[in-house]
Structure 1
Amino acid sequence: MKIGIMTNFNRPTRLAELTAIICKYYDIEVIYLRPRDVNIEEDKVRGKVLVNNSWLSIETEIPPFIDIAPYCYKRKNQEITTYLRNKTFLSDNRDNVLSKQKLQDKLKSTVEFSDIVIPTQKIYSINDIIDFLDKYTKVVMKPTNGIRGRGVYVLEKKNECYYLGYQKESVTLTYKELEDFFQENIKDRGFILQKHISSRTVQGDPFDCRVHVEKNQDGEWTSAKNYIRIGIGQKVISNVNQGGGISELVPFLKSNFEDEWENIVKKINELSVTLPRKVEELRNTHIMSLGLDIGIDENGSLYLFEVNDGPATATLTSEVAVLRSSYYKYILENCINTSEKYSTDREVIKKDYLIIEKKLNDYMKKNYELENQLNYYKKKYLSIENSTSWFITKPVRWLGSFKKK
């Protein structure tokens, strides 16, 4: 039996390779492909399959199931994705996609999730920002289609001054300068306003909890991993792509919420099952993977920052590969009509599994070593960044893009 994994990357990803290895245990062949590898006229795809640790080119029929990355749904691929919607079973067909604001609005009207909703509003004019500031004093501005924390600003009003923060920088603006910033960076670019939630460590760094959920071997939602992302030295968000770090959930909560950590863990575990079901219900379509970004204020209350339907997997590649492989088997056995049967030679499968298990352990060991190296270089980088010479020579580049002379 064949399934497809579709992304925009020319070379198969590490996740695709590890998933392909594990899928061999289930007698499933993974075909790695990109949108442009689909031949609509011939009803075929030209992809790659993993054979003896090498990816070899192959031409074959459209797989009955394709795990498609949301980022493949670009305008240039519209003909191909429309064709695939009608031809095969997709992990996400992008029906009824909810914007960040629309999701918050829908959850606000529910009994079970209204308490985690953050007040949110779309930005149409500078007056929207001023009125929102008058109501909440400190707000967050971010694009509705933002990825990995790009373009996220925090804005606070004190007396007649406005304090604007971005990544690790902050600047004080007059009303005129704020208006100029709005015209050049926010207007007509699909930004929303949110009430600022103070989700910070005892050291004052912003953090959030990433709850990465996947479908399992029974077709049910389960947590692949819950972990904390800390924005070390950042002004706005806990973005590891901008110099932050990650932490295991329980040790972090024990250090920052001594009296409430057990209750917080319980609430996060409950949310990891109930919220994905609700999102899938609201979209009225099939979804396979979600990343829930949860803020935790000083009182231990949870707030939903946003839901990502294409969550990053770099920090939990092994966990995701194991879950997705077993879920592919569930899909093929329960959701797709096929006459193909799985191999009954259990001795061959058992032998292959031992080989796969060894490779998986090797991958996990390598991943652990790389994480240790990454943490080492982050510490070295932070020590350099915090040095006097670095501080003196560092220009405030981002301010120059909008502040008038």
Structure 2
Amino acid sequence: MLVGLLQPFKEPTDLAKEISIEAQSKGIEILYMNPSDINEDDHIASGLVLKGDTWEDTEMPIPEIIDVSAFCLKSKQKIAYLQDRAYLTEGGRNKISKEKVQKVMEQDEHLQQYAIPTSRCKTFSVIKGYLLKYGEVVVKPIYSQLGEKIYKISQVNKDEFIIGYNKTSQKMNLQETFSYFQNIISKDKFIVQKYIPSRTHFGDPFDCRAHLEKNKEGKWVIAKKYIRVGIGQQVASNIGQNSSMLDTGMFFKLKFEKDAQSINDHINSFALNMAKKIETVRKQKLVTLGLDIGIDDSKRLFLFEANSAPDTSLLQEEVAKLRTDYYTYLLKANVELIPKEIV
């Protein structure tokens, strides 16, 4: 049995190796591919297969099942070609931005409690309106990675604002704030949100990353949860080397004491329901998802972001096992009968 693994890198990653080893134990061969390896004229794929501890070059027909990294979606022509010939775990259909995911929750009576008031901000007047209503707001790009370009604005009085970015903060008057943000939002697509104070006892921003995968029954499960703390950061908790990763059980006991278990259970329930909702909205079965969940001072949960290509560096073993379990589910279910859209 053959499954393709379409990744943006020419050289296989550590996770690709883990998946290949785990897949072999289940009777599945993995063909590691890059979009440039797809030959549309001959309908074959050049790629790599793991033999022992070595990756070897090979050519094979297009696999019937291809696990697609969301980072490969920019190769639109290749993805369109593959969609006509294989079952893809990610085809880019109906992608949900940071703005849209909040709207989706707002419109669902069971999920609206987790939504953060959000608007597109093409002009500073939208930001000013949010400041008048909430006092503190966050401005960030609709599409970004690793918590880049996230700003916090606090209104002190009518003509004084505090701008937080990375590990710095500075005071500005209204005109300076207007000029500063008008310049920023004119260069990219940004949203403004009500600020949610999800912070540790030491004042550092944190969130809970819930990483979800599909299992051997084709159902969502939480592969791992962990806390990300932005040490010394003004807003974001997921900025590369400036983040600290903590165990959820330990963190919840220290932060929430007797409410630790109920908060943990609440996150589990919300994450699984949110994953199903995103699939329904996107009209596509997915294989992986990362949800960044904040918890405010009153212990309410809020969804900060939904990531279709979550980092796997902290859970490669768990992902490899679940991902290959899901491959067996797809192969046994007969891929031809599996709808590419959820009707």
TM-score for the superposition, normalised by structure 1: 0.81
CA contact (8 A) 2:148 2:239 kept: no
Q: State the Cα distance separating 1:306 from its structure 2 match.
A: 1.1
Q: State the Cα distance separating 1:274 from its structure 2 match.
A: 1.2
1:330-369 map, 5 Å: 330-337=329-336
Change (3 A) 1:38 1:72: same
Once residues 242 and 199 of structure 1 are traced to their aligned partners in structure 2, the CA distance between those partners, rounded to angstroms, is 20
Counterpart for residue 309 of structure 1: 308
Q: State the Cα distance separating 1:272 from its structure 2 match.
A: 2.4
Counterpart for residue 26 of structure 2: 26
Once residues 212 and 289 of structure 1 are traced to their aligned partners in structure 2, the CA distance between those partners, rounded to angstroms, is 8
Change (3 A) 1:335 1:123: farther
Once residues 305 and 103 of structure 1 are traced to their aligned partners in structure 2, the CA distance between those partners, rounded to angstroms, is 9
**SS of match in other structure, 1:315:** coil
Q: State the Cα distance separating 1:115 from its structure 2 match.
A: 0.4
CA contact (8 A) 1:293 1:307 kept: yes
- Aligned-CA RMSD value: 1.2
Counterpart for residue 267 of structure 1: 266
- From the CA coordinates, give the structure whose radius of gyration is larger: 1
CA contact (8 A) 1:117 1:304 kept: yes
Counterpart for residue 199 of structure 2: 200
Structure 1: unaligned runs, 5 residues or longer: 339-405
Q: State the Cα distance separating 1:46 from its structure 2 match.
A: 0.4
- The Cα offsets for residues 93-121 of structure 1, whole Å up to 9 and x where unpaired, read as 11111222112112111111010100000
The answer to whether residue 104 in structure 2 is matched with residue 106 in structure 1 is yes
**SS of match in other structure, 2:217:** coil
Q: State the Cα distance separating 1:183 from its structure 2 match.
A: 3.1
**SS of match in other structure, 1:21:** helix
The number of residues matched between the two structures is 336
Structure 2: unaligned runs, 5 residues or longer: 338-343
Q: State the Cα distance separating 1:180 from its structure 2 match.
A: 2.2
> Which one-letter code corresponds to 1:40 in the other structure?
E
**SS of match in other structure, 1:10:** coil
Counterpart for residue 53 of structure 2: 53
- The Cα offsets for residues 189-243 of structure 1, whole Å up to 9 and x where unpaired, read as 1100111000001111100000000000000000000110011111111115041
Counterpart for residue 340 of structure 2: none
TM-score for the superposition, normalised by structure 2: 0.96
Instruction: Compare the two structures and name the one with the higher helix fraction.
Output: 1
1:82-231 map, 5 Å: 82-159=80-157, 160-231=159-230
1:50-89 map, 5 Å: 50-74=50-74, 77-89=75-87
* % identical equivalent positions: 37
> Which one-letter code corresponds to 1:119 in the other structure?
P
CA contact (8 A) 1:167 1:242 kept: no
Following TM superposition, the consecutive aligned residue runs of length 4 or more in structure 1 with deviations greater than 3 angstroms are none
Once residues 272 and 103 of structure 1 are traced to their aligned partners in structure 2, the CA distance between those partners, rounded to angstroms, is 13
Instruction: Compare the two structures and name the one with the higher strand fraction.
Output: 2
Q: State the Cα distance separating 1:337 from its structure 2 match.
A: 4.5
Once residues 182 and 100 of structure 2 are traced to their aligned partners in structure 1, the CA distance between those partners, rounded to angstroms, is 24
CA contact (8 A) 2:147 2:239 kept: no
- The Cα offsets for residues 32-68 of structure 1, whole Å up to 9 and x where unpaired, read as 1110000000000000000010000001100111111
Once residues 337 and 287 of structure 1 are traced to their aligned partners in structure 2, the CA distance between those partners, rounded to angstroms, is 17
**SS of match in other structure, 1:180:** helix
Once residues 97 and 260 of structure 1 are traced to their aligned partners in structure 2, the CA distance between those partners, rounded to angstroms, is 35
- The Cα offsets for residues 318-342 of structure 1, whole Å up to 9 and x where unpaired, read as 111110011111111114259xxxx
Once residues 139 and 104 of structure 2 are traced to their aligned partners in structure 1, the CA distance between those partners, rounded to angstroms, is 20
Q: State the Cα distance separating 1:305 from its structure 2 match.
A: 0.6
Q: State the Cα distance separating 1:188 from its structure 2 match.
A: 4.7
